[in-house]
């Protein structure tokens, strides 16, 4: 199990690095999918099969699919001309190296073992519908809000409503306008 | 009745407050009623107080009314308190009564002016300040009134502030009197540190007890007070502001620069006479300053062609007479002349105002002429005023007071032949320039048409002041006329009696004769030169030397030019040069630093999301470091 | 099976987070920026799961679920904004949106 963990970890790290360095947008997104798969394997090695499955289904599945659809809708050129000059990497790399050093220092490098055995879906569901049920409800409201918000934000100004010849004499107020906000 | 003393300055002060608060909402009628009314009420109260004071004098011939303690710190405890003695009675009577007449006159004179309410506001404040000045029982309160009248003088000279020349004139008056005021306040400091009080009566007693005659500290104190007096009373060398102060409306000139404020210096010296007696050299200086100024002003008045400037120099000259009297210890004589001068000088100014208004704002006397039939009231008022100014014998009040001064200048213990000669010469010149004015303005051919005639509110004060200018002198008749001198007896309760070496019947009689002679000769000369042979005079004046002399006198003997070059130009140069001195970079450096800091901070707000996140990341690194390394 | 080390799991999460952060600071394409945010959220979730596995409790996984829900919501709205962004500014360069400068 531990070897599997390290292999999957290495794949995840490598794939993530490739995500941020590819200039081709679609390639980057695909590498991100790979990274998410690798993290799902990591979850499995940690004894959390439920979230491993969730990771694959929701994250790598739904969310990345959203990304791909967005790219498709936006008609973004695959080879985006926005190249980042190498000099732009220096500052962030320095900052990030410092941050990583601090974090590793804080975490420590001991071999503290984790609890062996897995925490399966049964336990997770009991927790979710037990002490965390409020959180579940709030999460669902959050998703509803996001749904409505995304629909409204993304809506383009509509074409003028269809002119029905039969109703040409009516006042404009009677007609229902759908969306069309600027 | 005497308890009402505090209302005398309080009423005009209340008038000021009311007019200040309700400025825009008052109609002209209301403003006039309030402005003139409060001063009138004050005059009534003053007259009642005077009657009460004379009829049943309080013990010690002085009434002291304490209102409250102003402050109490470091041993200095001035009170808002009023001190009334014979001299104060004369002063408050003159200030309120003449003040009221001038206010009445102003309600008509200023009726078309848009600053009507503001005018009365300032005038009321002035009357209140002047009353505080003369009633104050301590020098600090007196200084409050002193500053108050200085402020009002500035405000009223620059009253027509849209014309910047008026503002400059006001500024000049303020700055020059400020020089005197500084000397005065230093004198106050000296007095306080030496005698530990500023209350006038204890101060005088303390000085008399502790200071030897001629001692340095007495001389210093007296000299400093003299400095203040010289500034306020427009004597040499601080006299250049008075002619320019004529830029204000004529009632202002009448009230402030003739009858009252400029006499504040006279009041101060008379009030602190003990100090001057302790410093005889300074007192001599007072007399000399008075005499020199009066001659200087007479010559200057001869050459002026602005009617108000003639009267301004005339005021300067008459105050010189008062200073002369003070200098030879003729204290009461100076006060007598103050009173008569207030009457006839206010009369002259008000009459001049009538002429100016009637001719639509014309000030140049050579553009006037032939007005004696067109403006009869003004004409007779002017004749009476000029006669009084020239001290025409017996029928004018100026005769009695000026004769008294001339007689004292030789007859007093400290009298001096030179002073006497100066006074006599001045008197001759006075009648010449006074009647020059009369003849040029009212006789001859009319140059400018009359467009406005005065009505009762301008004519009544002229009439009243004319009467006062004639009978006002009858309260102090000289010895050879019977010795009826209630005023002298009255003032002797407050001021030291003048010591004389020559006061016999013969002496005073001859003196009076000489004064009269000089006055009449002056009028005669004026008649000859200006009525009979005007053309010959013009030719004479056109010749180079007389013309140069005339120009010289016209510009006040070049004092303005002198001060401009000695003081104003160097100071301005220095100010310009020190604009970039050592301190400048330090001060503007702070501003420059701020701008640089702003630029730097602004640059950090470059709108780029990545930069903001980066900065947040740096902050995150720092916080994590704190947590991890704790 | 021999259990995985806790610290190594957390260090993996740290590394992934930091990689996402670098990408966020460097890339200019809006879609890639959103992807980097997803990377960081994923790393945070990993840290939660590791912590939960430390004590053998479900709490860590529950937190990961919430993080997941939040990430999904955020991506939805973020991509909608990206569409509007492209519509009004013409291209997907994050540096184009700099009107709040000065």
Residues of chain B neighbouring A106 (CB-CB closer than 8 A): 624, 627-628
Residues of chain A neighbouring C74 (CB-CB closer than 8 A): 146
B610 → chain A, closest CA residue: A92
Contact B159, B122 (CB under 8 A): yes
Q: What is the mean pLDDT of residues B57-77?
A: 85
Burial C66-95 (b: 16+ CB within 10 A, else e): bbbbbbbbbbbbbbbbbbebbeeeebbbbe
Question: Do C97 and B609 make contact, defined as CB atoms within 8 angstroms?
Answer: yes
C19 touches chain B (CB under 8 A): no
B605 touches chain C (CB under 8 A): yes
Q: Kindly tell me the burial class for residue A72, based on how many C-beta atoms sit within 10 Å of its own C-beta (0-12, 13-18, 19 or more).
A: exposed
Establish, for the pair of chains B and C, how many residue pairs have beta carbons separated by less than 8 Å: 30
Q: Cα angle vertex C98, ends C96, C102, to 5°?
A: 155
* Helices (runs of H) and strands (runs of E) counted in chain B: 27, 2
Q: What is the mean pLDDT of residues B123-148?
A: 93
With a cut of 70, say whether residue A180 has pLDDT above it: no
Residues of chain A neighbouring B612 (CB-CB closer than 8 A): none
Average pLDDT over all residues of chain B: 88
Residue from the list A91, A103, A106 with its beta carbon closest to the beta carbon of B614: A91
Q: How far is C83 from chain B (nearest CA, A)?
A: 18
Residue range A49-89, pLDDT digits in tens: 999 999 999 999 999 999 999 888 887 765 555 667 788 88
For residue B84, give the H/E element and its range: strand B79-84
Residue spans of alpha helices (H) in chain A: 2-21, 25-45, 49-54, 64-74, 90-107, 121-128, 133-154
* Residue appearing with tokens 């004597």: B235
Residues of chain C neighbouring A100 (CB-CB closer than 8 A): 14-15, 18
B621 touches chain C (CB under 8 A): no
Q: Comparing A109-118, B219-228, B294-303, which segment has the lowest mean pLDDT? A: A109-118
Q: How far is B617 from chain A (nearest CA, A)?
A: 8
Give me the pLDDT at residue A169, please.
55
Residues of chain A neighbouring C26 (CB-CB closer than 8 A): 20, 84, 88-89, 92
Q: What is the mean pLDDT of residues B541-548?
A: 79
Residues of chain C neighbouring A27 (CB-CB closer than 8 A): none
Residue from the list B606, B613, B617 with its beta carbon closest to the beta carbon of C98: B606
Q: What is the mean pLDDT of residues B401-413?
A: 84
Give the model's confidence band at A181: pLDDT under 50 very low, under 70 low, under 90 confident, else very high. very low
B617 touches chain C (CB under 8 A): yes
Give me the pLDDT at residue B547, please.
81
Torsion sign across C-alpha atoms B482, B487, B489, B495: negative
Residue from the list C7, C20, C58 with its beta carbon closest to the beta carbon of A127: C58
Residue from the list C25, C69, C80 with its beta carbon closest to the beta carbon of A139: C69
A93 → chain B, closest CA residue: B614
User: What ipTM does this complex have?
Assistant: 0.91
């Amino acid at each position: 199990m531990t070897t599997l963990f390290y292999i999957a970890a290495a794949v995840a790290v490598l794939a993530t690095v490739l995500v941020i360095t590819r200039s081709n947008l679609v390639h980057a997104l695909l590498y991100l999918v790979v990274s998410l798969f690798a993290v799902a394997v990591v979850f499995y090695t940690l004894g959390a099969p439920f979230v491993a499955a969730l990771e694959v289904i929701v994250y790598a599945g739904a969310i990345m699919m959203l990304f791909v659809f967005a790219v498709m809708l936006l008609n973004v050129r695959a080879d985006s001309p926005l190249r980042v000059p190498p000099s732009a990497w220096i500052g962030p790399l320095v900052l990030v190296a410092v941050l990583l050093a601090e974090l590793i220092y804080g975490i420590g490098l001991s071999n503290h073992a984790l609890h062996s055995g897995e925490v399966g879906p049964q336990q997770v569901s009991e927790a979710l519908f037990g002490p965390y049920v409020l959180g579940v409800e709030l999460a669902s409201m959050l998703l509803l809000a996001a749904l409505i918000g995304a629909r409204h934000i993304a809506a383009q100004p509509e074409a003028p409503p269809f002119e029905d010849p039969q109703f040409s004499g009516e006042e404009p107020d009677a007609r229902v306008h759908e969306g069309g906000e600027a | 009745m005497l308890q009402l003393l505090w209302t005398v300055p309080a009423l005009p002060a209340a008038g000021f407050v009311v007019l200040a608060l309700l400025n825009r909402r008052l109609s002209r009628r209301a403003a006039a009623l309030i402005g003139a009314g409060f001063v009138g009420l004050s005059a009534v109260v003053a007259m009642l107080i005077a009657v009460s004071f004379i009829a049943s004098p309080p013990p010690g011939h002085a009434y002291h009314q304490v209102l409250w303690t102003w402050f109490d710190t470091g041993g200095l405890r001035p009170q808002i308190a009023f001190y009334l003695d014979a001299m104060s009675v004369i002063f408050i009577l003159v200030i309120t009564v003449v003040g009221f007449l001038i206010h009445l006159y102003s309600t008509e004179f200023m009726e078309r002016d848009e600053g009507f309410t503001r005018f009365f506001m300032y005038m009321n404040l002035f009357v209140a300040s002047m009353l505080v000045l003369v009633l104050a029982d301590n020098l600090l309160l007196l200084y409050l009134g002193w500053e108050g009248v200085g402020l009002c003088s500035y405000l009223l000279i620059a009253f027509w502030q849209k014309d910047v020349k008026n503002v400059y004139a006001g500024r000049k008056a303020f700055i020059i009197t400020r020089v005197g005021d500084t000397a005065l306040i230093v004198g106050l400091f000296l007095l306080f540190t030496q005698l530990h009080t500023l209350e006038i009566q204890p101060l005088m007693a303390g000085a008399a007890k502790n200071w030897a005659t001629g001692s340095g500290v007495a001389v210093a104190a007296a000299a400093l007070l003299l400095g203040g007096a010289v500034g306020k009373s427009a004597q040499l060398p601080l006299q250049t502001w008075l002619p320019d102060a004529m830029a204000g409306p004529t009632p202002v000139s009448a009230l402030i620069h003739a009858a009252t404020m400029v006499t504040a210096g006279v009041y101060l010296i008379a009030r602190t006479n003990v100090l001057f007696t302790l410093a005889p050299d300074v007192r001599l200086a007072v007399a000399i300053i008075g005499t020199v100024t009066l001659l200087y002003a007479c010559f200057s008045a001869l050459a002026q062609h602005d009617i108000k400037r003639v009267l301004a120099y005339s005021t300067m000259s008459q105050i010189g007479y008062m200073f002369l009297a003070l200098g030879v210890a003729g204290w009461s004589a100076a006060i007598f002349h103050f009173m008569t001068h207030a009457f006839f000088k206010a009369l002259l100014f008000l009459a001049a105002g009538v002429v100016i208004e009637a001719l639509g704002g014309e000030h140049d006397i050579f553009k006037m002429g032939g007005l004696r039939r067109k403006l009869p009231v003004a004409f007779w008022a002017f004749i009476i005023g000029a006669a009084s100014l020239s001290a025409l014998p017996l029928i004018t009040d100026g005769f009695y007071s000026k004769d008294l001064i001339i007689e004292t200048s030789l007859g007093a213990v400290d009298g001096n032949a030179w002073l006497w000669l100066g006074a006599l010469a001045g008197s001759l010149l006075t009648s010449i320039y006074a009647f020059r004015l009369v003849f040029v303005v009212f006789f001859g051919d009319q140059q400018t048409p009359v467009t406005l005639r005065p009505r009762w509110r301008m004519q009544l004060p002229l009439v009243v002041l004319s009467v006062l200018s004639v009978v006002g002198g009858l309260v102090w008749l000289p010895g050879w006329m019977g010795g009826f001198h209630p005023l002298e007896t009255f003032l002797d309760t407050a001021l030291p009696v003048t010591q004389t070496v020559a006061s016999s019947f013969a002496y005073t009689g001859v003196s009076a004769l000489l004064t009269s002679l000089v006055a009449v000769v002056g009028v005669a000369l004026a008649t000859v030169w200006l009525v009979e042979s005007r053309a010959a005079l013009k030719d004479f004046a056109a010749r180079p030397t007389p013309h140069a002399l005339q120009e010289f006198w016209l510009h006040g003997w070049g004092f303005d030019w002198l001060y401009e070059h000695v003081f104003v130009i160097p100071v301005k140069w220095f100010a310009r040069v020190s604009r970039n001195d050592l301190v400048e970079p330090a001060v503007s450096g702070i501003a420059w630093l701020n701008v640089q800091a702003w630029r730097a901070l602004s640059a950090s707000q470059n709108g780029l999301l990545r930069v903001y996140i980066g900065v947040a990341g740096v902050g995150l690194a720092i916080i994590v470091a704190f947590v991890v390394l704790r | 099976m021999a259990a995985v080390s806790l610290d190594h799991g957390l260090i993996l999460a740290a590394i992934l987070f930091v990689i996402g952060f670098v990408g966020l600071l460097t890339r200019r394409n809006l879609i890639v920026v959103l992807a980097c945010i997803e990377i960081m959220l994923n790393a945070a979730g990993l840290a939660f799961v590791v912590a939960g596995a430390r004590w053998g409790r479900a709490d860590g996984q529950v937190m990961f679920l919430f993080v997941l829900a939040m990430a999904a919501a955020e991506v939805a709205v973020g991509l909608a904004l990206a569409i509007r962004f492209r519509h009004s500014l013409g291209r997907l360069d994050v540096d184009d949106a700099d009107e709040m400068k000065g």
